Amino acid sequence: AQSVTQLDSQVPVFEEAPVELRCNYSSSVSVYLFWYVQYPNQGLQLLLKYLSGSTLVESINGFEAEFNKSQTSFHLRKPSVHISDTAEYFCAVSAGTGNQFYFGTGTSLTVIP
């Protein structure tokens, strides 16, 4: 079975500062990787995904994540955060050969004015 580790449960950051949310996974096979965001009182939304091709993937709101196979990581970054980025962020992995998705425990990002 896969496992996903999000080491930081809470990340406070000042507005317009950069942020990195860390995600590591355990797998010896090809994987598909995802970041989901959950805004207060809303459901999970897909933020970005890595399926194949370029290891750097970007979202429409300025987030990016880089797949690093040697370090089994898929860290999420944004160079300048906004108040509206305050949310819970979940990293997820799928083995690509099955139907199961494995989620991390989430990182709560709080942007401070």
Footprint on this chain of another protein (rule: CB under 8 A): 4, 6, 32, 34, 36, 42-46, 49, 51, 90, 92, 94, 98-106
Judged by beta carbon, residue 68 or residue 105, the one nearer another protein is: 105
Judged by beta carbon, residue 4 or residue 109, the one nearer another protein is: 4
Taking the complex as a whole, the smallest distance from the CB of residue 99 to another protein amounts, in Å, to 4
Judged by beta carbon, residue 10 or residue 80, the one nearer another protein is: 10
Q: Which residue has the tokens 């987030």?
A: 63
Q: Can you tell me the distance from the alpha carbon of 21 to that of 77, in angstroms, rounded to the nearest whole number?
A: 6
Q: Can you tell me the distance from the alpha carbon of 76 to that of 50, in angstroms, rounded to the nearest whole number?
A: 12
Q: Which two tokens stand for residue 3?
A: 């496992």
Q: Can you tell me the distance from the alpha carbon of 113 to that of 16, in angstroms, rounded to the nearest whole number?
A: 9
Taking the complex as a whole, the smallest distance from the CB of residue 2 to another protein amounts, in Å, to 10
Taking the complex as a whole, the smallest distance from the CB of residue 45 to another protein amounts, in Å, to 7
Strands 73-78 and 56-58: unpaired
